[in-house]
Chain A
Amino acid sequence: MPQAGPVVTYSGHQYLRQRLALSILSGKPARIDKIRSEDKNPGLRDYEVSLLRLLEKVTNGTSIEISVTGTTILLIPGIISGGPVTHDCPLSRSVGYFLEPLIMLAPFSKKPLQLTLRGITTDDNDLSVDLIRTVTLPHLQLFGVSDGLELRIRKRGAPPEGGGEIQFLCPVVKQVKTLNFVEPGKIKRIRGIAHAVRVSPQFSNRMIDSSRSVLNRYIPDIYLYSDVYKGDESGKSPGYALSLLAESTTSAIHCSEAVSQPGGTPEDVALLASRALLSEIRWGGCVDRRHQNLVLLMMVLGSEDVGRCRMAEPTARTIQFLRDVKSFFGTSFKIVSANPSDSSCTELLYSCYGIGYVNVNRTLA
């Protein structure tokens, strides 16, 4: 039977997640070829295959064709069904890798998503579950996805063995709100979570002290929580990390994170995280740089009004994301300097006309 829409074609393994998410949201089939075709180990990696399987679980009617060599995939998206889903993530990536595209999809599913993911909860590459809980979800709340939005960290799992478990609950919305967020405000508070599993509980306190030594000069409202998981909840490997977030008067959030390295000290980790937070704050804008994609996507999906957001310069991921959004939704952003009179201003004002995306999957029956 007729399947609507021309196939959107890409090559290369990069930016796979955002393309898959966009394809499912827009309903346009996507074909991605030349996935590591020049590599010694060509084709999809295990975590990418696992992501595809997860997407198959949360949708209904999705067909994913992977070529024999694994260098080409064709995704014909179905509808996002949601509901209770459990998935074991491979140990090559943390759950953040899988959670990020699903956060984009979850508000538009048929039933509220109750996703349980098992695996590594914090690692170097992807957003840790702490940051997703404290930073990503508030970003989603800007768009009216709030009631029942929750991330529960049941168990923590540090690399390489993992053993963590999280539960992500997301409500269903009819349409996301239009964003108009141009006032970055001033930073009024700093929060943080220092967690340690299977190491001395003192490690988290050491991280907190060290981080305070950098940040205390700015603001007194600093709470850094020490979060030590023990026993069964602490996963299979030792590890510790510090995630920090700075919230402004207009509730713009900037965040940073550093994860323990073998042989490193907690103080190093804390310093790294604190300084990364400072450089993140220097970038300015209303949205953290790691969450530019999420915010821009939700702006595109908003009602047919102008959404505006002030952000730092786009990252490479964001640039590609903007291009992908254009090929899937046909929407381009207007990007101008946030303060045209001030030549030193690096912040940009992103504005776009929402496509009026309505959650067609939502059921009335």
Chain B
Amino acid sequence: MENQTHKAHRPAQSGSKAGKKGKGKQNQSGFNEKAFAPKSGRRADRQGRRNVERDQTRLHVPLVDRTPDDTPPPVIVAIVGPPGVGKTTLLKSLVRRYSKQTLQEAKGPITVVSGKKRRLTFIESNNDLSSMIDIGKVADLVLLMIDASYGFEMETFEFLNILQSHGFPKVIGVLSHLDLIKNQSTLKDTKKALKKRFWTEIYQGAKLFYLSGVLNGRYPDTEILNLSRFISVMKFRPLVFRNSHPYLLADRIEDLTPRENIRTTKGSCDRIVTLYGYLRGTNLRQSAKVHIPGVGDMEITSITRLGDPCPLPDADSEKRRKLSEKKKLLIHAPMSDVGGVMYDKDSVWIDVPGNFTRGTVDVPQGEGEQMVMNLQDVDATLADGVSRSQIRLLGSSSRNLAIGTPDASQEDESDASQVGSEEEYDADDGEEGSEARESEVEEDFHDANDLDSGDAPTTFRGDRGRESLRKVTRSMKDISRENENVGDLPFADSDSELWGSNDEWENRDKPSPLTLDDEEGKEGDGDVEGEDDDDDNASPAWKRHLSEKATASYMERNRRRRTKDWMSLIYSTSVTPHQIISGNEVDAPDDDFTDLDDFFRLKKTAHSYDDDLDMTKEVLSPDNLQEWEDEEMLESLRSMFITGYPSVPAGEVVEPNDYESEGGDFEDLETGEYQRVPQPEESETARATALVVKKEALKRKFDEQYDDPEDKMDFYNEKKDEINRQLQLNRAEFEGIDAEARALVEGHRPGTYVRIELASVPCEMIENFDPHYPIIVGGLLPAEERFGYLQVRLKRHRWFTRTLKTNDPLIFSLGWRRFQSIPIYSLDDHSIRMRMLKYTPEHMHCYASFYGPVALPNTGFCAFNSLNGDTAAFRVSATGVVLDIDRSTKIVKKLKLTGVPFKIFKNTAFVKDMFNSALEVAKFEGANIRTVSGIRGQVKKALSKPEGAFRATFEDKVLMSDIIFLRAWYSIQPRKFYNPVTSLLLSDKSRWTGMRLTGQVRRDEGIKTPLNNNSHYKAIERPPRRFNPLKVPRKLQASLPYASKPKLMKAQSKKTYMQQRAVVMEPEERKAIALLQQIRALRKDQVARRKEKQNERKATHRRKVAKEDALQGEKEKEKRKEIMRVAGMRSKREAEVEEGRSRKRRKI
């Protein structure tokens, strides 16, 4: 086909086309320069700069993404919005899209597989502020639902503000209820307006989705499909906080407390709880502490890696899936009603519908059930009952019937319990299926109350109908929790016990102290072994064989060292470091020889290394270093220097000749000697390879010098490359190790499905568990476990209506935690002091200091006054960032001490009422004081007479009426108050109340605000002060220079000439003036009349308006009356209904 010949094209030789084509071709050669040439140099410059700027905007600070590429944890997709906006419908639609299953009830996180490399965990957020905070901290993608028929609601904005302060995840807006808007143009306008607002909130161009009506309880499939496509291509940038903390969104919770404990304490004992979920963030270590928002800080008892319940498809699983295409797709949602089989550490849970629970009292119970339940209620065993009973064998017996031997009673007990449990199971079997099906987790809890399954949570506790247990098939090997103190020095409670045993086994290893020979002794304390034990005195004999001996000992040491497994020696034995070094490690201090001891034992010189100092340097012993006198020994080290022969062919090694020519200045006899040492014969191949290496090095050098500098990586790429290299190294370093050891060294990696066991969890968390509220396990950094004073930069939110007051409790959401604390606001006063503020400033940042758990500087937070949902106002009261952490604060507030002078000399005054004692005055000697009028002075010395009075000097004479004050600074500390928000422990989780404000307490208790009489504001009456005129004696005046003479004179009493003279006018002038006067008079009269008329008009108008107002008022009054009448009737009716009901009830 390819070699098929076509008829060649023959261009027209003549005609109109002949000329055209050629011309066109000419034009097409290259682009038109004119079109692209810059018109002016300035413009070209601007264009170039703009391009560079645009390039820079693309760059972001390179962040390390620590989630592994192969199996990343599922992306958390949170669906958030006000109630009734269609969250559950969207969740169900999305789950159906991915798993082809319709959920009846969607509770808790739901994990589905969405693609080859991606899984999604959907979680619906309820309207509680606490859960919105928690979800905002873990969500990778938020589907923010907005009711288009209503518009934005307060919750939406609150949620966005929470997101902003904790690291902004990706947000997709979803508009629902669009079908309620019938008019097309209104619809268009609404969409436009909402989009504009949404873009200003998030960023220009943020994705906004439109969902039209609901079909079959779901959104239209095409719209959901589109949304799912957007979700699947979404890229995520690592967020700083999440990239430095391990965390987990629990998708399953189990209570492992021994049932007996729960029963005996009536459910109020601390629980042992396991939480399951995918690890996210960074690696979670065994020893880590975690915080569960809403519950508190917990210590992890153990972490176990479990098989992935919702694995990503690999080649193998894909093959299998093809055979059963119709099979349901993977979905993992233990809190909802799907996913029948669950794998645990050592058991498999199969969920079978139908169950029996105790709590349901309204369901009629059969006789058998009643009996079983009565049996369960029995607190004491039969034996106890009998022992307590008053049965006498015979009426005349003096003693009650007693139980015989203890073992007999035990047997009885066990028999009884066995019988009881069997009966119970029977009853359950009979009843199952008739019960309403409850959520699995709840079942478990009821189950916990029902049945004591013994101490071990793993014991067989099936037979309940709905769940059965079998031996493990797929469980991962238990990665046992490392024992923290394994690697430590062994410590016992008493000295003697421990060291005694240690000594013993130390002792066993060695011969008895009496027969201890030199060799052993040296091995014990010398770190470089003395190989020449028997002859200590230096003699030519040892010198001769020194090198052989040295090498032999070196090899010997190597051999022995080689066999050492350093990791296990260091971390999993309790051998002392010195013993490890000296090589006489005994693996375990067996206790078998403790029994062959006699009563008295010689107290050993217990700590053989006790007397040595904590030294960094080792003691240099000339004897040990004597080996370096040997020539061979010295030569053996030559390969360690660049002048030596390469032990392995390396490219970088500089040959000795080269070196000498470079560093000729340092040439001396010794090197010359070295040159004379014959080179080892090199083979031709070696020389050739060396040449190749050399050439390559030269080429590299040349390239570096002359190559295009543009090829070199810029700073940004270099950093990115560095991060990638480190990540590769991380992956490679622990590649070969098995998962167990790996978890020990680096912790559990993100993406693994783990089971976290927590001890001593408050029982309320289990009893009041509600799957609608997310459970987050947030790992804490070591620093975050501590408490201290935090200094934060804070700004009151501009939408929060009230100002914030110092010492009013505030609820912070900081790090993983939500807690209430008492902040003190302050501002930096000219960089001299931190000055307390009573209230937060308007439109400005201020500092706040409070006591609480430490968070890393630069962590964002938001604060609330209350988390209750019953306020319509905006609830985020402040946002900010952590600046500093300390154990003390340096906030001061101003303190003014006032006093009054009681005796005044020239510039000296005696002041009283400022201090109470001479001692206080002594503390303030030399302090600056000031009068109200601004005269500055100093405290000098206390006076003896009125207690607390002092002498002070001023820069001028003060008045008796002056008040003198001393400005001081009083340092204050924030109150040490920390109250974690334990909302998850409540039965009504949105009703958490912390410490109330003082005003709230007063309102609730009906206490009036105490009023200080002096604090009343009232008009201040100040009598006008009269100042006597300044009188300068005439004599003095006379001698004063003119400038200093008082210039003020009396007002002139004599008439001036202008006032005095008489004016005689000419007739024309007189006439003209008369005319002017007449005109003016006329004008005046006219104006007066006009004004009168206007007033009249105004009066009539006013009358009219008043009449209208009166009419309107009448109407309004009528209307109000009508409304009140209706309201009254309604309330009356309600009251009647209420009464009737109560009457009815009474009748019953």
Q: Do A and B bind each other?
A: yes
- Chain A residues with a Cβ under 8 A of chain B: 1-5, 9-17, 26-28, 34, 36-39, 60-61, 78-79, 81, 93, 96-97, 100, 110, 124-127, 178, 180, 186-188, 214, 216-222, 249, 257-258, 268, 271-272, 274-276, 278-279, 281-282, 284, 290, 303-306, 308, 313-320, 322-324, 326-327, 329-337, 343-344, 346, 348, 351-353, 355-358, 360-365
- Asked if B782 and A335 sit within 8 Å, CB to CB, the answer is no
Which chain B residues lie closer than 8 Å to A38 at the CB level?
495, 606-607, 610
| Complex alpha-carbon distance, A100 and B482, angstroms | 31
Residues of B contacting A14 in the complex (Cβ-Cβ under 8 angstroms): 609-610, 612, 614
The list of the 7 closest CB pairs from A to B, nearest first, reads A61-B887, A220-B666, A330-B287, A216-B670, A4-B785, A319-B577, A316-B577
Q: How far is the CA of A39 from the CA of B605 in the complex (A)?
A: 10
Partner of A306, one of B482, B668, B729, B788: B729
Q: Is B207 an interface residue (CB 8 A)?
A: no
| Most A Cβ at <10 Å: residue of B528, B558, B561, B620 | B620
Point out the residues of chain A lying under 8 angstroms from B886, CB to CB. Answer: 60-61, 79, 81, 110
| CA distance in complex: A329, B285 (Å) | 10
Q: How far is the CA of A268 from the CA of B626 in the complex (A)?
A: 12
B643 A125 Cβ-Cβ under 8 A: no
A218 touches B580 (CB 8 A): no
Please report which residues of chain B, range 283-316, place their CB below 8 angstroms from some CB of chain A when the two chains form the complex.
Answer: 283, 285-289, 297
Q: Report the Cα distance A290→B615, complex, angstroms.
A: 10
| Chain A hits for B528, CB < 8 A | 279
Extra contacts, 5 of them, besides A186-B641, A216-B668, A218-B641 (Cβ < 8 A), are A97-B614, A216-B669, A303-B64, A322-B571, A346-B561
Cα distance, A334 to B566, chains bound together (Å): 9
9-residue interface stretch from B38-46, B215-223, B851-859, B1127-1135: B851-859
A323 near B668: Cβ-Cβ < 8 Å: no
> A4 — which chain B residues lie within 8 A by C-beta?
289, 297, 785-787
Complex alpha-carbon distance, A127 and B976, angstroms: 43
The smallest C-beta distance from B538 to any residue of chain A, in angstroms, reads 14
Chain A residues lying within 8 Å of B426, measured Cβ to Cβ, are none
Asked if B366 is at the interface of the complex by the 8 Å CB criterion, the answer is no
Asked if B1038 CB lies within 8 Å of chain A CBs, one says no
Contact of B642 among A186, A258, A333 (CB under 8 A): A186
Mind listing 6 A-B residue pairs with CB under 8 Å?
A12-B607, A220-B667, A275-B625, A304-B66, A304-B244, A336-B567
Partner of B282 from the list A81, A284, A356, A361 (CB cut-off 8 Å) is A356
Contact B244 A78 (CB under 8 A): no
Judging by beta carbons under 8 Å apart, are A319 and B614 in contact? no
B283–A353 touching, CB < 8 Å: yes
Decide if A217 touches B673 in the complex (CB within 8 Å).
Answer: yes
Residues in chain A near residue B612, CB distance under 8 A: 14
- Name the residue on B nearest A256 (C-beta): B620
Q: Is B489 part of the contact surface with A, judged by Cβ < 8 Å?
A: yes
Bound-state Cα–Cα, A334 to B886, Å: 35
**In the complex the two chains form, is B644's CB within 8 Å of A1's CB?**
no
Expressed in whole angstroms, the minimum distance between the Cβ of A77 and any Cβ of chain B is 9
Q: B758-807: which have CB < 8 Å to A? A: 781-783, 785-788, 791, 793
A322 x B609 contact (CB < 8 A) = no
B788 close to A79 (CB less than 8 A): yes
Which of chain A's residues have a CB closer than 8 A to the CB of B66?
304
Q: Which residues of A contact B460 (CB under 8 A)?
A: none
- With A1-B976, A361-B885 as given contacts, are A16 and B614 in contact (CB-CB < 8 Å)? yes
Asked whether A37 lies within 8 Å of B637 as measured between CB atoms, the reply is no
The reply on B730 being an interface residue by CB < 8 A is yes
CB distance from A349 to the nearest CB of B (A): 10
User: What are the residues of chain B within 8 A of A323 when measuring CB–CB?
Assistant: 487-489, 570-571
With contacts A281-B640, A327-B488, A358-B781 taken as known, whether A316 is within 8 angstroms of B581 at the C-beta atoms is yes
| Cross-chain contact of A333 among B285, B567, B607 (Cβ < 8 A) | B567
CB neighbours (8 Å) of A276 from chain B are: 620, 625
A335 contacts which chain B residues (CB < 8 A)? Answer: 566-567, 570
Interface residues of B in 716-749 (CB under 8 A from A): 726-727, 729-730, 733-734, 737, 744-747
> Which residues from chain B contact A217 at a C-beta distance below 8 Å?
634, 670-671, 673-674
Given contacts A126-B617, A217-B673, A221-B663, contact A332 B567 (CB under 8 A): yes
Q: How far is the CB of B60 from chain A (nearest CB, A)?
A: 19
CB pair A218 B643 closer than 8 Å: yes
Q: B270 at interface (Cβ–Cβ under 8 A)?
A: no
Interchain CA distance A5-B726 in the complex, whole Å? 32
Q: Does B362 contact A (CB under 8 A)?
A: no
Q: Is the CB of A186 within 8 A of B617?
A: no
Q: A278 and B637 in contact (CB under 8 A), knowing A216-B670, A316-B527, A360-B854?
A: yes
Across the interface, B581 reaches (CB within 8 A) one of A61, A78, A319, namely: A319
With a CB–CB cut-off of 8 A, which chain B residues contact A11?
489, 491, 495
In the complex, are the beta carbons of B788 and A61 less than 8 A apart? yes
Kindly state whether residue B943 has any CB partner on chain A within 8 Å.
no
Contact of A363 among B555, B729, B744, B857 (CB under 8 A): B857
Instruction: Determine if B726 and A305 form an interchain contact, defined as CB atoms under 8 angstroms apart.
Output: yes
For residue A304, which residues in chain B have a CB less than 8 angstroms away from its CB? 66, 244, 282-283
Contact residue among B285, B614, B643, B652 (Cβ-Cβ distance under 8 Å from A15) = B614
Q: Give the CA-CA distance A352 to B741 in the complex, in Å.
A: 12
Question: Nearest CB to that of B611 among chain A residues?
Answer: A39
Closest residue of chain B to A9, judged by CB?
A: B491
Closest chain B residue to A319 by CB distance? B577
Bound CA span A274–B634, Å: 12
Contact assessment for A37 and B570 in the assembled complex, using a CB-CB cutoff below 8 Å = no
Set of chain B residues within 8 Å of A268, measured between Cβ atoms: 622
- Note all chain A residues with C-beta closer than 8 A to B726: 178, 180, 305-306
Whether the pair A27, B609 counts as a contact (CB closer than 8 A) is no
CA distance in complex: A282, B653 (Å):
19
Complex contacts, B619 vs chain A, CB 8 Å? 124
Chain A: CB-nearest residue to B674:
A217
In the assembled complex, B995 has its CB within 8 A of some CB on chain A:
no
A351 to B561, CA, bound (A): 19
**Interface check B713, CB cutoff 8 A:** no
Check A36–B487 contact: CB distance below 8 A. no
Closest to A355 in B: B782
Interfacial chain A residues near B782, Cβ < 8 Å = 26-28, 329, 355, 357
Q: Which residues of B contact A15 (CB under 8 A)?
A: 614
For window 863-887 of chain B, which residues contact chain A by CB distance below 8 Å?
A: 881-887
Contact A221 B887 (CB under 8 A): no
How far apart are B445's CB and chain A's nearest CB, in angstroms? 30
Q: Decide: B610 and A36 in contact? CB cutoff 8 A.
A: yes
Tell whether, in the assembled complex, residue A282 and residue B609 are in contact, meaning their CB atoms are under 8 Å apart: no
**Distance in Å: Cβ of B844 to nearest Cβ of chain A:** 16
Also in contact, A284 and B857, with CB within 8 A (given A17-B614, A220-B666, A361-B885): no
Report the minimum CB–CB distance from A50 to chain B (whole Å): 13
If A278-B628, A330-B285, A334-B567 touch, does A358 touch B614 (CB 8 Å cutoff)? Answer: no
In the complex, whether B370 has a CB less than 8 A from a CB of chain A is no
Provide the bound-state CA to CA distance between A96 and B482, in Å. Answer: 36
* Contacts known (A290-B617, A305-B730, A362-B857); A1 close to B787, Cβ less than 8 A: yes
Given A219-B643, A279-B628, A332-B487, the answer on whether A125 and B617 have CB atoms closer than 8 Å is: yes
Interface centre among A9, A36, A220, A356, by most chain B C-beta atoms within 10 angstroms, is A220
Q: Which residues of B are found within 8 Å of A272, using beta-carbon distances? A: 620, 622, 625
A308 touches B733 (CB 8 A): yes
- Tell which of B628, B727, B883 touches A214, judged by Cβ atoms closer than 8 Å: B628
B558 touches A306 (CB 8 A): no
Closest to A45 in B: B613
Assess the B641–A219 pair: CB atoms within 8 A: yes
* Residue in B closest to A17 when the chains form the complex, CB atoms: B614
Q: Cα distance A362–B886 when bound, in Å?
A: 10
Contacts of B622 in A (CB 8 A): 268, 272
Asked if B192 is an interface residue, CB under 8 A from chain A, the answer is no
User: CB distance A127 to B566 under 8 Å?
Assistant: no
CA distance A331 to B640 in the complex (A): 33
Query: Does the CB pair B653–A12 fall under 8 Å?
Result: no
Contacts of A337 in B (CB 8 A): 562
The complex places the Cα of A363 from the Cα of B788 at a distance, in Å, of 14
